[in-house]
Structure 1
Amino acid sequence: MIVQVSYSRRVRNDDEGPVAADALSRVTWALRRAEWAVQARKEQRLRPLGMAAAQYSLLISVHTDPGLTGAELARRLNVTPQAVASQVARLEERGLLERRAHPRHRHIQELHLTDAGREALGLADAVIVDIEERIAEELGPEQAAQLTALLDQVADVVREA
């Protein structure tokens, strides 16, 4: 039996299973289902470009903030430094990224896009824009704007929690 405490909090009685019957219809699961669907589409559409969605995220982060270090990038992308190092090595081998010595700290290396990296990012971003336009087209401009605002609000609420 679930006792309704408020819109967002429910209390369980001990005679039930480990989760409420509505566990998969919660807001967090709806967010996760949307994330999985978007991520799968990004992977599918970026694959012909020889790029993974994680690499796109890394490249756009470096483009937006040139000179990031691997540690800063790991924090920004919410992944381990080892995961960033692995992706950086792959992208560097392909000539899309380069490491440069930090101007004041010789042991720190900054990441920068190469010309080939900027070109690859442009192609990948066109794929992402196409996915986003499809979503916005289906929702319509008003609902797309509302969804963006609601997702920003969710991010703010979770950060404050």
Structure 2
Amino acid sequence: MRHDDEWPVAASALERVTWALRRAEWAVQARKDQRLRPLGMAAAQYTLLMNVHSDPGLTGAELARRLNVTPQAVASQVARLEERGQLARRPHPRHRHVQELHLTDAGRASLRDADAVIVGIEQLIAEKLGPKKAAQLRALLDEVADVVREA
């Protein structure tokens, strides 16, 4: 006897492009976490610090939207990074109840160390794929992002 949940999706569902992207993301995230752990940093914290570095003055709400996580998740990470002296909150120049996020000197140093680890992971990928395939992959991923944003 067959139950309704035995075949809820097509047999080829796990062969879809979106699943391939997700599997690659899981693998990369796991490697980032593994390699960043000796620095006392998680991949999520690296991502947060990178975003603040690239766009100083972001608010927690803006970061949450950008990272597609809850404001509570951002607040928790910001509090940890602030306790470590890597992030500083400063009052917004026009909105007195809004706090902007900025890297401290310690945050810049931590980000520099963490980014060297991430560069190593990227080099591993590029070496395995070769320069041509690595460039193609980057271009295809940019195209995927554009297509999905436009849809």
Q: Which runs of 4+ in 1 moved over 2 A?
A: none
Amino acid at match of 2:107: G
TM-score (norm 2): 0.94
The amino acid across from 2:105 in the alignment is D
Aligned match for 2:61, one of 43, 55, 71 = 71
2:73 corresponds to 1:83: yes
How many percent of aligned residue pairs carry the same amino acid? 84
RMSD of aligned Cα (Å): 1.0
More helix by share: 2
Higher Rg: 1
Q: How many residues align?
A: 146
Equivalent in the alignment of 1:136 = 126
Alignment partners' CA distance in 2, 1:102 and 1:155: 31
Give the Cα separation in 2 of the matches to 1:129 and 1:112.
23
1:54 matched to which residue of 2? 44
Once the two structures are superposed, residues 85-137 of structure 1 have per-residue CA deviations (whole angstroms, 9 ceiling, x without a partner) of 00000000000000001112111110000000000000000000100010001
In structure 1, which of residues 5, 11, 19 is the aligned counterpart of residue 9 of structure 2? 19
- Correspondences of 1:86-125 after superposition (within 5 Å): 86-125=76-115
> Larger RCO: Structure 1 or Structure 2 (Cα < 8 Å, ≥ 6 residues apart)?
2
* Amino acid aligned to 1:52: A
CA distance in 1, matches of 2:17, 2:98: 41
For 1:153 and 1:63, the matched residues in 2 are separated by 25
Q: TM-score normalized by structure 1?
A: 0.89
Q: Which amino acid aligns with 1:127?
A: V
CA distance in 2, matches of 1:17, 1:121: 46
- The unaligned stretches of length 5 or more in structure 1 are 1-15
Gapped runs of 5+ residues in structure 2? 1-5
